Amino acid sequence: MKVLSGIQPTGRPHWGNYFGAVSQYIELQGAEQSFFFIANLHALTTIRDADQLRQNSFDAAMDLLALGLDPEQATLFIQSDVPEISELNWILLSGTPMGLLERCVSYKDKIAKGLPVVSGLFAYPVLQAADILAYDSTVVPVGEDQIQHVEVCRDIAQAFNHTYGEVFVLPKAKVLDTSAKVPGTDGEKMSKSYGNFIEIFEPVKPMRKKIMRIATDSRPMEDSKDPETDHLFQLFKLFGSDSQVAEMADKYRAGGFGYGEVKKALADAAESYFEPARQRREQLEQNPDRVHQILSDGAAKARRKAAEVLARAKKACGI
């Protein structure tokens, strides 16, 4: 299994990012080949400040390393440090039908949300295809909203192979497990766009204040409550041990407790859960040269593989 995934450097990770994606990426890092990159080229469609993009990219790398990405098992790099991707992107873009890109739901959704209509946003799936195909990736872990882009990648690769011969490996999407719902502070899905998120690495005191402000219903303390329908309990399940979760569920059903008690237990559990990652990140912040070296080594390894695939594509199409 050859795994490939990218993360856009659009801001600090929150609980939803971790449980919905990052933790599952880390579980896959022991595969035969695993490449994880910071997608700063993709981020150019939304971030127009050079210093911010550079800092966000470096922060994203530190975040992944602190959360458990092991450079001895996985290859971590910055997307733009592999220029072969941009060249392969143009080769693929040259033969991609407009109609294929016009059907992409993600593009339509972003336009509907009022994002600027730029060609990079429209052609995003082709650059994503270059990212995937450049490393002979066989598995691409994605959320349900990105499945179509993997299918577009397969369509592009199949069309190229039909014209020029068997050049590209066809990848398959691995849909991330989103059964562990991560509600935000308002009970809706945790998202930066909703402003209802709790960052993983924000200082403990502000984090605890956010937790204590989580919206709850107004049922009396003495009432029995169904834990499975309560978003505060759903958050606690992410962090608590099996015995802690079972004990908390019993409290809900018995009644006679206040939500403040649950919030305190959630804050304690979350603080304890992410403490090792916080410590690792502090160490990385004190040794930025190590992070730069990891990214440099990763880019060198990624370039070797991407150059091999690019050479196949160029030879096939006569460049």
Annotated active-site positions, please? 110, 189, 192
Q: Please, what's the b/e burial string for 159-198 (b: 16 or more CB within 10 A of its CB; e: otherwise)? A: bbeeebeebbebbebbebeeeeebbbbebebbebeeebbb
Element (H or E) spanning 204, and its range? Answer: helix 204-212
CB 267 within 8 A of CB 234: no
- Cβ proximity of 28 and 3 under 8 Å: yes
- Please spell the DSSP secondary structure of 244-298, one letter per residue: HHHHHHHHHHH----HHHHHHHHHHHHHHHHHHHHHHHHHHHT-HHHHHHHHHHH
Helix axes 288-317, 50-66, angle to 10 degrees: 100
β-strands 33-38, 2-7 pairing = parallel
Rounded to whole angstroms, the Cα distance separating 130 from 112 reads 26
Question: What residue type is assigned to position 170 of the chain?
Answer: L
CB-CB contact of 93 with 123 (8 Å): yes
Q: What is the DSSP letter of 196?
A: -
